[in-house]
Structure 1
Amino acid sequence: MLIKTCVPASGKRVIQEYIFSLLQTCKTETNIVQIHSQIVLNGLSHKNNIITKLLSFYAAFGKIQHAHKLFIKINNPKTTVWNYMIRGYASSNTPWKSVQYYNQMVLTESEPDGFTYSFLLSACVRGGLVKEGEQVHAVVLAKGYCSDVFVNTNLINFYADRGGVDEARYVFDDMTQRSVVSWNSILAGYVRCGDFDAAMKVFDEMPLRNVVSWTTMIAGCAQNGKCVQALSFFGQMRRARVELDQVALVAALSACAELGDLKLGRWIHWYVRKRQQQPSVRLNNALMHMYASCGIIDEAYQIFIKMSRKTTVSWTVIIMAFAKQGLGKEALDVFKDMLSDGVGKSGVRPDGTTFIGVLCACSHAGFVEEGRRIFESMIHTWRISPQIEHYGCMVDLLSRAGCLDEAYGLIETMPFKPNDAIWGALLGGCRIHKNSELASRVANKLVAELDNTDQAAGYLVLLSNIYAFAERWQDVIAVRQKMIEMGVKKPPGQSWTQINGVVHNFVVGDMTHKHSSSIYETLCEITEQARLEGYKPDITEILLDVEG
């Protein structure tokens, strides 16, 4: 809609009606600005009906400061006008101002209604205003709004958001009428607190499900490591012929990445292209992550280079993808592009996660000097304080390269207590470079700090192998004795794969799989073929029967 620079010159009333009709059909922020200019030019800034309508649009579009300037011009604002402001601030970066407006409102002749309390509760959720939210609940009960579906749904959201799912359930159970939004709110509350049994019960009892219901279950399962269940819900959602929104697709892609389900991931990519809609940046990021996790790095990179807009996450995903595939040079090339193109043109900056990916790439590629330089630039150029993960990457980089004393010195000076991943990286370097003396010191620190005996077992086995390679047999026996005293055994190696939607788990020495005979037969054929091709297995570390 293009606003003309002049309006029909048929008198003030006609002009006013014309501009009001424009407001009624307005759909974009640009239109609002154009209409506002016409209101000012035609001297209509004092007309309450026009200003109120204009204010409602500014509040809805998030231009709350513009709305405030209009609000103070209105004499004796009605409840609806107060609600516009309370709702606007509830969605803003200063939600606590909704409470301020409410406190001013109750001092006037305007009477708060159900919408007022609903918007106020939304502000309490967004701003983490626990005490204020509880006070609103008390007022709702006192004013008799406890039967208002909209108010009760927002009460459920308020309690569920701060972990009070029992209070949320109390409100839900006390409702005489429930909407699908009410059901979705209590469902999300259970998912958020990790009670999937209760969430499943609510989901099964829902009289009506919409796309939000399905997406809540899919995303909740995916975010809590229940990826098989997430894809099961996704399949049910498809069979129910519910429109797949981008939130559901992103969650399903996350589960595909975790499970390595390339087939379903490719189907989702096909579905996105079939709809011929521009995928969001978040959806493109999820597609890249899925392909990269499944080892299809070229496909991930093609999506990346075709993206018209890239965020820090986009750059980080592709850097991580190259790093995990051992393509250190490619990861560093992308990082350099990010610094020259991303920061220069779109204001995208690397964050802490980006540097984890870059340092991992340096570690896998053996770029020691580059890794040192990047670690320093993170601190001094980008003003990002290294976290324990960054130190872990540097210890891994230095340990792999044989700079064991430097790695140990870095651990000694870092401002965090080293965890098992840090010590484990150094111990791994000791194995590679056959430094049994340092390995002994590191392993003792590791085992002393570990509560999990299964974790300790893996490091003790690694230490025993280091001793065995150095022919320190008495130390090998001592480690074995320590394992017996601690009552630990190395967990057997295991792996899994997914075929036709079914996850198959394999454990060393396990014969319980229904196709185990043919599996082992095929494995023997592959091993024999590899031997004929000249492959010689490295058995230098198979020196101790760690299973007892």
Structure 2
Amino acid sequence: MFLAEVNLTNLNYRAKQQYLFSLLQCCKSSKELTQIHSQIVVNGFSQKNYILGKLLSFCVTSGNLVHAQKAFDQIMIPSTIVWNQMISGYASSETPLKSFQFFNQMGSSEAKPDGFTFLFLLNACTRSSYLKEGKQLHGRILSNGLCSNVFVQTNLVNMYFTAGGVAGVAMARKVFDEMTQRNVTTWNSLLSGYFRCGDINTAREIFDKMPERNSISWTTMIAGYAKTGKCKQALALFYEMKKAQVEMDQVVFLAALSACAELGDLRTGRWIHFYLDKASCIQKPYFVSLKNALIHMYASCGVIEEAYRVFKEMSHRNTISWTTMITGFAKQGFGEEALAVFKWMQNVEGEGIRPDEITFIGVLCACSHRGWVDKGWHYFKCMTTTYNIEPRIEHYGCMVDLLSRAGQLDEAYKLIENMPMKPNTALWVALLGGCRIYKNVEIAANVDNQLALEVEPDQAAGYLVLLSNVYAAARRWDDVAKVRGRMVAMGLRKPSGRSWIQVDGVIHEFVAGDQSHRHATAIFKMVKEITRLAELEGHIPCTSEVLLDVEEEEKGQFLYFHGEKLAMAFGLLSIPDPVTPILIVKNLRICSDCHSIAKLVSKIFNRNIIIRDHNRFHHFEAGACSCNDYW
């Protein structure tokens, strides 16, 4: 040890003190700390707050609070700095309430709390949602004359937003409004606070009013938009940030890639990938996360080959990497590839990689989209037998979906009845989906009896529409009318179907019958041409999902102008390059008629069309779909 090489007896008092302090500054381990501490005691510096403060700082930083406590107990008259080190250490520990015990003891000593004292305590309140203690601290802050301390007040704003619930929002805003001085960190705290409580509109107002913005301000807005599903706004701000030449970091790229994945914005995703390959500012811990985000983005945009290329080129992968790749293949309908990656993953378990609950959701999803019932049961059972993972309700949902798609409705119903937890709406809806495909009205009615008493109003619309589809497919119009009447009585509406397509960096959104687009005339003309050509190919409108008891010809009119057909027509008009696939993203399940039309369009116009609905991808080429009409 380096201390053995130095004879401290040859140094004067001041030189010893300076030397021990310098050793503390470059201390790297608890073993070194123990030896330095012993020299501090031997040389008579155990009451020097100046040195002990530095020693405690190392203990706090390294998480060695046991040593810190022993050193603190030896000090007869701790200074404010020393008290603050102990308060800081426990505020960041797993027992943050101890920081308040030290604060109370400090009140009986000669030392006086300062701004740092309250910063550390507010941090404890924020981390552990201690609102009661936070309010008491607020009073002490005012009585100690720190109401003009911008750093303390900023942390007070953050504490109220984090720990205060609904009432805390008003308190946080009151503190902010009464501040005589604010900095960009204060504004950022307010901004992130409104996002945390879900008030996106106010957050945007704050952002627009900020007298100064830094990269954190932009990142908070972009990440906030992406997390709350406002992906178009997230990417619009991302481009503004880029135009303003604000320095971007890994956090904003992660948020932007998430938004690209949601929207199917391949153009922006590719630009980010190119930028990341050239950038040198990305910190090492984020490399894997960013690569995972790229895999997810490419897979979500239908470019699974590119996603797999990124995956294979990774020098280091974690469980999320493997899971993202498996899920990406599964949602494309590439079951063999998904299971091949899972097998590869099992072969590298010795490297610390192990499947988790989410991995098995991807595996079971792959089996479901291919109708592999036996394989699905095999992987479902090996969760517990091989990996000691207890199946969650999501895994039961995958199995119910698999069995229902395969027509094994009785088995799916039994699985729901015998599962060890209470079934949720998603499981019953998966079963209803099978009832729609196989026109099983009896089981659908049983599901309705189960759900009618349990389903929450905000989840009822989707299941009732699906129930209507089952009855409509069976041409039981009286039952359709009853279900629609229930929806009206409950004030529910059918979820709005939306389809969007990106052309030249601009995302165009369509709903059924939408005439608001500036090229609506040309789009509707193209839809009619598509319909005419499809009929020449023998297409008959699939009217079984139209929930109205009207003539077949009239039902066909309802189908002609679905959002995905409008998006498809716009894509044919706006993307003339025959090699470029037309990618359409849809928020709901694609209907049977649009699926049939997309197959014919790919054949008639010799175009590759990719449609991503809320369940999976459909790759249409030369009159066929990758799902083999099994979806």
TM-score, normalised with respect to structure 1: 0.86
Tell which deviates more after alignment, 205-214 or 152-161. 205-214
For 1:345, the equivalent position in structure 2 comes to 351
Counterpart AA for 1:337: W
Contact 1:3–1:31 under 8 Å retained in 2: no
Note the 1:145-544 alignment, pairs <5 A: 145-162=146-163, 163=165, 164-276=168-280, 277=282, 278=284, 279-342=286-349, 344-346=350-352, 348-379=353-384, 381-443=386-448, 445-446=450-451, 451=457, 454-456=461-463, 458-468=465-475, 476-483=476-483, 485-486=485-486, 493-523=497-527, 539=542, 541=544
Cα 1:60–1:449 change in 2 (3 A) is closer
Cα 1:491–1:312 change in 2 (3 A) is closer
Counterpart Cα distance in 1 of 2:64 and 2:8: 31
Q: CA deviation at 1:434?
A: 4.6
Counterpart Cα distance in 2 of 1:492 and 1:130: 41
Contact 2:24–2:36 under 8 Å retained in 1: no
Tell which deviates more after alignment, 276-285 or 240-249. 276-285
Contact 1:114–1:148 under 8 Å retained in 2: yes
What do the CA deviations read for 1:468-515 (whole angstroms, capped 9, x no partner)? 4xxxxxxx2323432564466866754111223432122333333222
Q: CA deviation at 1:117?
A: 0.9
Question: Paired residues, what number?
Answer: 533
Contact 1:253–1:265 under 8 Å retained in 2: yes
Contact 1:7–1:15 under 8 Å retained in 2: no
Counterpart Cα distance in 2 of 1:410 and 1:96: 46
Counterpart AA for 2:462: Q
Note the 1:138-149 alignment, pairs <5 A: 138-149=139-150
Q: CA deviation at 1:169?
A: 0.7
Contact 2:441–2:471 under 8 Å retained in 1: no
Q: CA deviation at 1:399?
A: 1.4
Contact 1:289–1:300 under 8 Å retained in 2: yes
Q: CA deviation at 1:334?
A: 2.7
Tell which deviates more after alignment, 166-175 or 75-84. 75-84
Q: CA deviation at 1:126?
A: 0.8
Cα 1:524–1:485 change in 2 (3 A) is closer
Counterpart AA for 2:426: A
Q: CA deviation at 1:322?
A: 1.6
What do the CA deviations read for 1:436-473 (whole angstroms, capped 9, x no partner)? 433443355456755467435532342134424xxxxx
Name structure 1 gaps, 5 residues minimum. 469-475
Cα 1:233–1:3 change in 2 (3 A) is farther
Counterpart AA for 2:298: Y
Cα 1:503–1:391 change in 2 (3 A) is same
Counterpart Cα distance in 2 of 1:269 and 1:23: 43
For 1:473, the equivalent position in structure 2 comes to none
Q: In structure 2, the residue corresponding to 1:178 is in which secondary structure?
A: coil
For 2:33, the equivalent position in structure 1 comes to 36
For 2:114, the equivalent position in structure 1 comes to 113
Q: CA deviation at 1:52?
A: 2.8
TM-score, normalised with respect to structure 2: 0.76
Counterpart AA for 1:78: S
Contact 1:297–1:322 under 8 Å retained in 2: yes
Contact 2:118–2:137 under 8 Å retained in 1: yes
For 1:87, the equivalent position in structure 2 comes to 88
Q: CA deviation at 1:222?
A: 1.0
Counterpart Cα distance in 2 of 1:527 and 1:338: 46
**Higher RCO (CA 8 Å, separation ≥ 6 residues):** 2
Contact 2:469–2:545 under 8 Å retained in 1: no
Contact 2:299–2:307 under 8 Å retained in 1: yes
For 2:10, the equivalent position in structure 1 comes to 11
Q: CA deviation at 1:138?
A: 1.9
Q: CA deviation at 1:121?
A: 0.7
Contact 2:461–2:487 under 8 Å retained in 1: no
Q: In structure 2, the residue corresponding to 1:31 is in which secondary structure?
A: coil
Counterpart Cα distance in 2 of 1:544 and 1:256: 34
Counterpart Cα distance in 1 of 2:397 and 2:234: 32
Contact 1:32–1:57 under 8 Å retained in 2: no
Contact 1:285–1:314 under 8 Å retained in 2: yes
Q: CA deviation at 1:227?
A: 1.1
Cα 1:126–1:349 change in 2 (3 A) is farther
Q: CA deviation at 1:323?
A: 1.5
Counterpart Cα distance in 2 of 1:307 and 1:5: 46
Contact 2:468–2:484 under 8 Å retained in 1: no
Tell which deviates more after alignment, 488-497 or 259-268. 488-497
Q: CA deviation at 1:251?
A: 1.1
Contact 1:94–1:127 under 8 Å retained in 2: no
Contact 1:399–1:429 under 8 Å retained in 2: yes
Q: In structure 2, the residue corresponding to 1:280 is in which secondary structure?
A: helix
What is the CA RMSD across the aligned residues, in angstroms?
3.2
What do the CA deviations read for 1:228-257 (whole angstroms, capped 9, x no partner)? 111122122112211101111111111111
Q: CA deviation at 1:396?
A: 0.6
What do the CA deviations read for 1:299-327 (whole angstroms, capped 9, x no partner)? 22233333344333333222221221112
Q: In structure 1, the residue corresponding to 2:28 is in which secondary structure?
A: helix
Counterpart Cα distance in 2 of 1:89 and 1:97: 6
Counterpart AA for 1:503: I
Counterpart Cα distance in 2 of 1:4 and 1:382: 50
What do the CA deviations read for 1:161-180 (whole angstroms, capped 9, x no partner)? 12311100111111111122
Tell which deviates more after alignment, 269-278 or 298-307. 298-307
Counterpart AA for 1:12: L
Tell which deviates more after alignment, 74-83 or 59-68. 59-68
Q: CA deviation at 1:351?
A: 3.3
What do the CA deviations read for 1:50-71 (whole angstroms, capped 9, x no partner)? 4432321332344444433443
Name structure 2 gaps, 5 residues minimum. 556-631
Sequence identity of aligned pairs in percent?
52
Counterpart Cα distance in 1 of 2:316 and 2:486: 55
Contact 2:473–2:545 under 8 Å retained in 1: no
Q: CA deviation at 1:106?
A: 2.2
Contact 1:22–1:35 under 8 Å retained in 2: no
Q: CA deviation at 1:23?
A: 4.2
Counterpart AA for 2:345: M
Counterpart Cα distance in 1 of 2:221 and 2:395: 34
Q: CA deviation at 1:37?
A: 6.5
Cα 1:444–1:513 change in 2 (3 A) is farther
Q: In structure 1, the residue corresponding to 2:5 is in which secondary structure?
A: coil
Counterpart Cα distance in 1 of 2:146 and 2:40: 41
